[in-house]
Amino acid sequence: MSVTQSLRIAMSALGANKLRTALTMLGIIIGVSAVISLMSIGRGAQATVTSRIQSMGTNLLFIRPNFTQQGGVRTGQGSAPTLTIGDADALVMPGRAPAVALVAPEVQNFGQIIYTNQNYNSRILGVTPEYSDVRNVKVASGEFLESIHVEGRAPVAVLGATVAQNLFAGADPIGQRVKISAGGRTGVNFRVIGVLEAKGGTGFANQDDQVMVPITTFQNRLFAQRTPRGAQNVSTINIQVVDESLMKTAIEQIGEVLREEHRVAQDDFIVQSQEDFLAVANQITGVMTILLGSIAGISLVVGGIGIMNIMLVSVTERTREIGIRKAVGARRRDILSQFLTEAVVVSVVGGGIGVALGMAFAQIISTIDMNGQRLQTLVAADAIVLAFGVSAAIGLFFGIYPAARAARLNPIEALRYE
């Protein structure tokens, strides 16, 4: 029996019981559409996190304090107050770290921002003017911090988009005064000079939920922490490397400079790259995508079991038909291919419909607004091929047993069957 004949007979048999065929396909349709739509959510989340991390800047390195050890007890990374503004200045001295393009130290703490009867808790950052270039920070209105603000310890602030919206509710905050309380200091007045462009969260921190002030103002008016040698501490030194190809060289040069500055045998600092954060984020979202796809894949298996069940019923109902076909010369492989073709047709057609519905669901999901943000979805070609291929394979796998059972029927007993 040719493939064309098998398809024609299969379509005829399936068309004889349209409702049963449609219900059998439903399991495959649901499974394939669920796999595609859920994997699109995972891929979309991965793309969103990646783009937002990259929006922080390019060719970035982050220097943070390392652990401390007291009485044989080691504390966590970042607990050693060892970095200073002097370290940042040393890294940009001519000839000391040629691979370093820009340096932007920062200090941070959480604090309360008050404007009239409105108050909001946010992250307070003390930064330098170079921070805007290193971390790709742009203002939507007003201006960013300048050298004169840092040198004069000016009480000025640049608000993140979320902070500005919560405190001023759409009104222009430029020129207004807010009170900031942090690190035990209460009610320090700051004049708002700028509002940052909205960038969204990265999974590690919301770049819109922060307030930036001059680093010297932060250290002298809000919160000061000192190193063991008495210098004022900074929490992070942000580095922009001259070129991406020089990242490894820059890390080596930074290490040499800081070891010389700190005069230590063991590094009391750690250097992390932007790629480190990106790799962690991609690993997390990749696991989430696989988990979502696996959960949805269970429904495909259930759909395959439904195909097997219906095919077994079909074999029982068509026992006399099988006997007649064998009596007039049909071989076992003809019967086998006929029922296998029916199972595969059900799964392939159901898979095709499921692909179309899955893409449609992904498009609908991307229009849903969740707390002011849309859930991005990304339908990838490999997800479509995977879902469709698995649905066809499931139809073939679960159709083998009913087809083999039909092929093994004794024609005489089949003809006697009522």
Residues 4-42 have pLDDT tens digits of 766 776 677 666 677 878 888 888 888 888 888 888 888
- Rounded to whole angstroms, the Cα distance separating 316 from 414 reads 10
- Rounded to whole angstroms, the Cα distance separating 352 from 387 reads 10
Average pLDDT value for residue range 310-318: 73
Whole-number Cα distances in Å, 241 to 46, 60, 218, 301: 25, 6, 26, 51
The percent of residues above 90 in pLDDT, for the chain, comes to 22
Beta bridge partners, 63, equal 237, 271
Two tokens, residue 320: 């006399």
- Rounded to whole angstroms, the Cα distance separating 80 from 228 reads 9
Beta bridge partners, 90, equal none
- Rounded to whole angstroms, the Cα distance separating 78 from 332 reads 73
| Predicted confidence band of residue 397 (pLDDT cuts 50, 70, 90) | confident
Residue 348: which H helix or E strand, with range? helix 332-365
Amino acid at 92: V
Pick 299 or 166 by higher pLDDT. 166
Contact 156, 148 (CB under 8 A): no
Q: Taking 60 as the threshold, does the pLDDT of residue 203 lie above it? A: no
- Rounded to whole angstroms, the Cα distance separating 399 from 14 reads 14
Q: What is the mean pLDDT of the chain?
A: 81
| Predicted confidence band of residue 189 (pLDDT cuts 50, 70, 90) | very high
Alpha-helix runs per DSSP H in 55-112: 85-91
Two tokens, residue 120: 């909001």
Residue 49: which H helix or E strand, with range? helix 18-54
- Rounded to whole angstroms, the Cα distance separating 249 from 220 reads 35
> What pLDDT, on a 0 to 100 scale, did the predictor assign at position 210?
92
What's the pTM value of the predicted model, to 2 decimals? 0.62
Residues 133-160: tens digit of each pLDDT: 888 889 999 999 999 999 999 999 999 9
Q: Taking 70 as the threshold, does the pLDDT of residue 80 lie above it? A: no
> What pLDDT, on a 0 to 100 scale, did the predictor assign at position 76?
47
Q: Please report the DSSP string for 215-248 in residue order.
A: HHHIIIII---B-TTSPBB-SEEEEEES-GGGHH
Could you tell me which residues come within 8 angstroms of residue 360 by beta carbon, excluding any fewer than 6 positions away?
none
Give me the torsion for CA of 25, 31, 34, 35, rounded to 10°.
-130
Average pLDDT value for residue range 88-100: 89
Residues 221-242: tens digit of each pLDDT: 887 676 666 667 888 999 998 8
The residue whose two tokens read 């087809």 is 403
- Rounded to whole angstroms, the Cα distance separating 362 from 339 reads 34
Q: What is the DSSP letter of 107?
A: E
Task: Report the SS3 class of residue 379.
Answer: coil
Q: What crossing angle do the helices spanning 18-54 and 381-407 adopt, rounded to 10°? A: 150
Neighbours of 43 (CB within 10 A): 24
Residue 14: closest CA among 409, 416, 415, 395:
395
Whole-number Cα distances in Å, 105 to 127, 136, 236, 333, 382: 6, 15, 6, 76, 43
Residue 85: closest CA among 207, 214, 252:
214
Residues 323-337: tens digit of each pLDDT: 777 777 777 777 777
Contact 34, 296 (CB under 8 A): yes
The percent of residues above 70 in pLDDT, for the chain, comes to 82
